[in-house]
Chain A
Amino acid sequence: KNQVEQSPQSLIILEGKNCTLQCNYTVSPFSNLRWYKQDTGRGPVSLTIMTFSENTKSNGRYTATLDADTKQSSLHITASQLSDSASYICVVSYLGGYNKLIFGAGTRLAVHP
């Protein structure tokens, strides 16, 4: 069964600290993996998209990694800011299933001053 699992479910950190969010998937055949940021009451906004051959991709203070062998991805946030408080959703797309994306439940991050 195609699944995407994220951990932790929620996380609280202090402003300025770093954090890493995890994503494990069993989606096959794999096409690409995306990380989205979703502010409360808003739609998800794309942070990164990685294909099978990409190990890491950065977007400002956000760095995503992908290990296609172990089917794991991580999103590292550096020097967190209050505006980073949001849900971070890992999404995996599989070949032949265009836009039949498999969404994780998300990690809720709260950055406190």
Chain B
Amino acid sequence: DAGVTQSPTHLIKTRGQQVTLRCSPKSGHDTVSWYQQALGQGPQFIFQYYEEEERQRGNFPDRFSGHQFPNYSSELNVNALLLGDSALYLCASSLVPGKSGANVLTFGAGSRLTVL
């Protein structure tokens, strides 16, 4: 049973460029959340997707956008990259609120983004 898979594992971009990160949730999960983790810090919530719609959003600018596909996989897009966007981007999957076990988050290994 595959867990959460993310791609790419590492990438390097320059300021002003755009990046797309991908996530496949754990089998059976239908909700995907994205987090940004700067070096030495805890993860910060970006947004959550369920039924192909953004359901909740953290304190991140509109440069951060996402999408969820019918197969529950998800993408995180970041436009106009800044140096401060360099971080580990984590995807976590879970069940929709209200379902048994919805509290359990399963994280992927993350995508390490470096902005030069």
Contacts and interface: CB of A to CB of B under 8 A. Distances in A.
Contacts of A104: 42
B43 A103 contact: yes
B103 A32 contact: yes
Given A41-B109, A43-B110, A100 B56 contact: yes
Interface residues of B, number: 27
Interface of B: 4, 31, 33, 40-45, 48, 56, 58, 88, 90, 92, 94, 97, 102-110, 112
Contacts of A42: 109-110
Interface in A26-81: 32, 36, 41-46, 49
- Residue from A42, A89, A104 having most chain B Cβ neighbours under 10 A: A42
B27 to A, nearest CB: 16
A99 B45 contact: yes
Given A41-B112, A100-B56, A46 B33 contact: no
A44 B33 contact: no
A91 B103 CA distance: 12
